[in-house]
Chains A and B, each alone.
Chain A
């Protein structure tokens, strides 16, 4: 199995390091031709406006949409924003997931936080019972899911922070910043 990580901007190296720990072959994706032969793709954290602009300038928008039709794609934070249909402001989006996202929903950096999450699907898929410790960095929330998209995780107050639609995954937090590989394992189980 070979997994690509969109390497336009952001913490793609952290995703690659986590995948390597799991023994997975990886490739950095900067141009459309880099998508050939991949079994899945991760869109990392970073700045969604920067990633969107570079994806537009290097003709990646349509190839990424096509890739997402047949393959597993996971967006973390900026990546989740990029996958969404609507962020209530004009910026390039892939629009392949039926989720509406609010950017910087918790405020500015001093409001960034870490917290434990209880994610049923994750525990089940990885046969584990301990909570998932998540990092929210100027994080978005998923305001609502529609169509076949379903909620995967919420904060105790009910705000949605992870969603899944078939083979598409979106998390507003950063599993690549933790030593906990369970979310990557879950992603790989969808990709295989």
Chain B
């Protein structure tokens, strides 16, 4: 009876354990501990949250391995870390550190403008961003075991997260009503592998877990994304760029569990202090938008 590690079912399985939870960006071991105590189901270890990457500019790369290891030491929940799109050596390094998930992320500066990482080559699972079903299924085709809608990271404006979640969910709803004969042409139209289009139609959902990301700043934002049909929520800058991170983190965790209960949502939304200041996506110049990165 041999034990098999790194199978797709095992990679996908960890994402299933994260469902109904909140994954929080943290930049220090102390923040990681605050996130864990507030009920985060995982943390994303970073040097800079997306809001700071926006302000400071420059090339954004994988974080210092030393920082990631410190965060891994500080908490018992899964630790994720980001590599640049297409930068498979950063991914190899993160895998060797033993991180639990790699986010091949548009928040960092892309290393390859044509190709994403072939994620099937790794034992560690990957999560990737998407704006629509075609993009989601291309990433799964490359081996992503979890998907997140991109939103627009570091803005605190939920509008893009809503747009991307509604796009993916709407496309799945339309796909479920299609005749089997229509699927090949639909695959061609959205640039997605035929087998995965077929699987999505049969399941009536994405073949792997799908979280929302990019702009969630309040418990109401998180519950909105859940009601739109995602499996859980990433919160990046929204927690540690706010006035009272610990309280806001705990409130967002509760809002994801009780996302349909407006009276609990009202209760947890009370007295949270200042939210992150935020930037409206509509006023961002095209060159500053991160969601367009990915092919």
Contact = CB atoms under 8 A, between A and B. Distances in A.
Given A10-B20, A113-B4, A135 B41 contact: no
Of the four ranges (under 10, 10 to 19, 20 to 34, 35 or more), the interface on chain A belongs to: 35 or more
A103 to B, nearest CB: 6
Given A11-B16, A114-B3, A137-B10, 4 more contacts: A9-B41, A14-B16, A30-B261, A112-B14
A45 interface: yes
Interface of B: 1-7, 9-11, 13-14, 16-21, 36-42, 72, 76-78, 95, 98-101, 123-125, 250, 253-254, 256-258, 261
A156 B2 CA distance: 10
B17 A10 contact: yes
A108 B11 CA distance: 12
A34 to B, nearest CB: 12
Contacts of B76: 49, 89, 103-104
Contact of B39 (A53, A137, A156): A53
B78 to A, nearest CB: 7
Interface of A: 7-14, 30, 45-47, 49-50, 53-54, 57, 77-78, 89, 103-104, 107-118, 131, 135-138, 156, 174, 177
A57 B252 CA distance: 13
A171 B80 CA distance: 26
Contacts of A8: 20, 257
Contacts of B42: 47
B9 A114 contact: yes
Contacts of B99: 108-109
